[in-house]
Structure 1
């Protein structure tokens, strides 16, 4: 008998319908589709099924919403009575009426304590003095998708199956997104070059175990969960949810910007693309690429031509039949974009644009094309109408998982001021959602994670740690913490003696000055071999000779053994041989020194079997590498490349990080109630939520409530 919480989360099918008119509409749309248009690709690894999927998702969602609305109207009186009964029963043992989780991703305890001591964070200091403050243990590794998954489920990674942003495919060795999988329809009708989907696509959540909000919902206690990482696709439960980290953009990537410029011809960036702007009289012309048209065999990217014309010191953008006034160095509002897939079939997204230079050359930046929350092509909320409700009520908003465009700043496509403007604009969108939820919630849970604190520290840490001379951006991180403190102050207005509030972060922050390519180290020390005569960048583990490779790395978490019976071309025997290899690698890597100055680059190495327990242990890195302050897996190593040099300088704007030894980067935990636990961990938040509402902790949940007497675990 499978224990509750360890049952794999099922793949979610979009709402199904077999009505004949749907298939007829699809057939007509495909037959009338325009011929493929030429277009360039974009350089990113995770491209989704494309327009056919998006169209099916939108169409079926609309049909489902219509019938669900009718059903809801009919069933409303019965549901209302049943809901009142369940709620009354659910709150009988509750110790609070309301619980607020305010997540400030990446808020560092060292900086927080320093700024509190200097009197710069009055609201957090007051919360500490009236309630409690502790440093919060993070996960191994200290990565946001791992830590927030543990926050939600109360279990270690080997029980929720999230170890990094990426997994490796054990058959192909190619990386896959760890949190979700999107696949196209299994059945397709072929009519010449047209492809008509006859079955529904799949959107699968790969995080396992159960969330505390789902468990509370089963006891009649509702929750509103906003932008908590690793919630795409959204699960069904008693409450509302808006997905966050790892929600794709309309192209199916994790965020691909576009730059148009007269400066150069077409080129590709690490996580975006560059296309030419053509001068036309006094104006300029370009073509915005959307997702591939999967209604046509080999369908190219759908396109929207646009024109820019000078208008009295500003510019007018005309795209998709709309006209928008643009001023240099100012973001446009969210633009509604409808990419034509076929006659009457459009795939909808949103983007913001900004003119970044006008003379002597002209450049236009376009954010990643987000899924339109008013017409979502993929499920991004529960209930499905919740995303639309927020957009109608508060205005359009960013939906992609990592909405702050760190790569555009890394590549120099936008500058630091443009990045900050974007980040704080997104922060304002999230704040509007958060306070709307607090206004609506008289009892139950409101949980919201703000990731601006993480993104700004990633990009501005070099201004804090002395790498750059003092300037106008020196105080950006201090100002960021003060903004977060002000947010806490606003949230405290919703707290009374029947409300518990936790302000927490998933990890802290350190400088990222030097990268370490462990594939290069493994090669130089005889553990990894390249194919004879291989030439190329070797991204995504290409060019490795697996028949002569015993260990390898990619991503940010650690080292994998090329194990026989697990990897398709494994060479290391399970059991004693794997254990001996892990012991040998641990001894050699621990204390690894940087030849540049003799500094220790790797502080500790952890064996997976000693820090994890659970059914998904086999998916974990075999060794978790605890880098020292200032070091991290290099950019090349994160992509699975084997570079020439082991050590390299980090020259990107992304200058702060937390992918190091987790003991160096704990998070923070503030509460308006006295926390009894002296060494709380992020795994303790889920059982604490259950405890506050008088719900017994399931036996599989590993964390412990941080105060009070924990109820007996139920079997």
Structure 2
């Protein structure tokens, strides 16, 4: 179907409903992300009256816990929020993507998100959008409006659309990524963080006061950056101070957007403090699934950007193994989740597990993990998931791990090249947890005092429903029509009839950013850890 006929089909779907128009009076939608926020940290502050703007939204709207991806990591979570698709469908699981037929991995970019994000869909449908700071949006794609890339953006690159906007932001002192992914030092000083919030708040409010936009999404990464500090180095008052400042920014943006705007506040995952640690890399060696390399030499890992460090850490971990005798090895971990990949013949260059033996080895690892107890009688592992079951889709076999290990909530998981398999009684260590936050308020939102539960894949279809826009039939999530008043039946449109589903290849065609000069790879032999 050509684009003209597709647009006609879209218009016909948009006009369907009870009568000739929707029973809902559509509002603009403002989405505000507090990366890493959890109700465990917010509820005491809400009860104490320290977050008045968030409390006001909850009072006149509704709230929910928002279940993240497994593992709960920003690289997978934000693309899931933006696309309404699961990891196996949009193609991003961790910050590094495996290189086919190799043990290497490369740093991801927005070009790896193989599904149209909501701002691309809305732009193609004629809406003006503003997107600020969403992780995994570098390089920035062209939209009808503005897009300022977030986490993974190099400061010295063109990180904003339209052309020339980056220079304006630099002149204002704006920093695109507060973390250490590209730079060697994180902007973790609380005064500097608050300064960046003030800059973003002012620039965003200028846009929100205009009347020509339909959708704005603004993510603040600073909470995640600050919460990752080791507890012994973290003054908790700084986290509380930051949350109070984020609440002030939320109030300013809500006011600037006006009464004809629905407001959604969410996070990609939560945070928790863990006193017990399970090292899956060490366990795989002790259990006989990973074979130690007797000649391995572990030098100090390079200090600098987190991208370089993570690549080197991955290479060091593999370098500790005799890959010719290893059946499985640890990959990404986050919070109380771990990932395991088989050394599969035909997929890995030195794979030894045959396709016929694949299920048997996975079953054996699963049984052994579930049998771990500490102390006696208390399990450490809550569940072991097959990656293909968690994340079906065209990318599942390429990027999803073979096993995703979910520990009990009080156990953190690492894949460290040093230390014991089980560590307990240590000072608490902050890391991600599964459930984030969701708050929704607006004149079309049915208020509720109950706290619901949503998943990340629900956010994009719900957002389109709030904008009275047809939802692509392939969207995996639930639009939660009962959240609206009056309850509004979602309008679904077959993907083949929807010209707004522009592929990532088309969206970035002609994009001038040279990712080859920016990429980071983990090369086992190149870093001196391989045989």
- TM bin, normalised by shorter chain, reads 0.7 to 0.9
Task: Give the structure-2-normalised TM-score.
Answer: 0.76
The C-alpha deviation readout for 1:9-46, integer Å capped at 9, x for no partner, is xxxxxxxxxxxxxxxxxxxxxxxxxxxxxxxxxxxxxx
Equivalent residue, structure 1, for 2:436: 666
Change (3 A) 1:122 1:514: same
Q: How is 1:275-286 mapped onto 2 (pairs within 5 angstroms)?
A: none
Task: Name the counterpart of 1:692.
Answer: 466
Q: Which runs of 5+ in 2 are unaligned?
A: 2-10, 16-20, 300-314, 482-487, 496-531
Highest CA radius of gyration, 1 or 2? 1
Shift of 1:237: 2.7
Corresponding residue for residue 508 of structure 2: none
1:615 aligns with 2:394: yes
Question: Structure 1 length as normaliser, TM-score?
Answer: 0.58
Which of 125, 129, 135 is 2:55 aligned to?
Answer: 125
Report SS of the residue matched to 1:428.
helix
Distance 2:94 2:181 in 1: 20
2:117 aligned partner:
211
Alpha-carbon displacement from aligned partner over 1:657-709 (angstroms, at most 9, x marks no partner): 11x5x3xx333333332278943222112112222333211122112223332
Work out whether 1:555 is the aligned partner of 2:312: no
1:647 maps to which residue?
422
**Does structure 1 conserve the Cα–Cα contact (< 8 Å) formed by 2:36 and 2:436?**
no
What CA distance in whole angstroms lies between the structure 2 residues aligned with 1:706 and 1:407?
A: 42
Q: Is the 8 A contact 2:26 2:468 kept in 1?
A: no
Tell me whether 234-243 or 622-631 shows the greater mean CA deviation: 622-631
> Which SS does the other structure have where 2:341 is aligned?
strand
CA distance in 2, matches of 1:533, 1:601: 32
The match for 1:631 is 411
| 2:12 equivalent to 1:106 | no
Structure 1 stretch displaced more, 140-149 or 93-102 = 93-102
Q: 1:114 offset after TM fit, Å?
A: 2.5
- Hey, what does 2:269 align to over in structure 1? 507
Alpha-carbon distance in structure 2 between the residues aligned to 1:233 and 1:397: 17
Cα drift, residue 407 of structure 1: 7.5
Residue 380 (structure 1) aligned with residue 170 (structure 2)? no
**Would the alpha carbon gap of residues 644 and 134 (structure 1) be closer, same or farther in structure 2, given more than 3 Å must change?**
closer
Change (3 A) 1:669 1:235: same
- 1:679 equivalent to 2:470? Answer no
Deviation string for 1:179-225 (max 9, x for gaps)?
Answer: 22xxxxxxxxxxxxxxxxxxxxxxx7111111111111111011110
Aligned position for 1:592: 372
The aligned runs of 1:375-454 (5 Å cut-off) are: 378-392=157-171, 395-400=172-177, 402=179, 419-454=189-224
Match for residue 291 of structure 1?
Answer: none
| Distance in 2 of aligned mates of 1:507 and 1:97 | 27
Query: Which has the bigger relative contact order, CA under 8 A and spacing at least 6?
Result: 2
Question: Would you say 1:526 and 2:308 are equivalent positions?
Answer: no
Kindly provide the CA deviation profile for residues 411-451 of structure 1, in whole angstroms up to 9, marking residues without a partner as x.
xxx9xxx7222322332232233223213354311110001
Contact kept, 8 Å, 1:145 with 1:245, in 2: the verdict is: no
Question: How many aligned residue pairs are there?
Answer: 448
| Structure 1 CA distance for aligned equivalents of residues 244 and 219 of structure 2 | 17
Instruction: Say if 2:483 is the partner of 1:713.
Output: no
After TM superposition, give the deviation of residue 379 of structure 1 in Å.
3.4
CA displacement at 1:495 relative to structure 2: 4.4
Distance in structure 1 (CA, Å) of the matches to 2:263 and 2:98: 38
Q: CA deviation at 1:515?
A: 3.6
User: RMSD between aligned alpha carbons?
Assistant: 3.2
Paired with 2:455 and 2:78, the residues of 1 have a C-alpha distance of 12
Measured in 2, the distance between the counterparts of 1:456 and 1:714 equals: 43
What is the alpha-carbon distance in structure 2 between the residues aligned to residue 513 and residue 379 of structure 1?
A: 42
Q: Is the 8 A contact 1:97 1:498 kept in 2?
A: yes
Question: How many angstroms apart in 2 are the aligned matches of 1:626 and 1:588?
Answer: 14
1:579 maps to 359
The alignment status of 1:164 with 2:70, answered yes or no, reads no
Q: Deviations over 1:497-547 (max 9, x none)?
A: 421110111111101334432121111111011234333356151142222
CA shift in 2, pair 1:134/1:644, >3 Å: closer
Q: Determine if contact 2:262/2:441 at 8 Å carries over to the other structure.
A: yes
Could you say what secondary structure the match of 1:603 adopts?
A: strand
**Gap regions ≥5 residues in structure 1:** 2-85, 181-203, 249-369, 372-377, 465-472
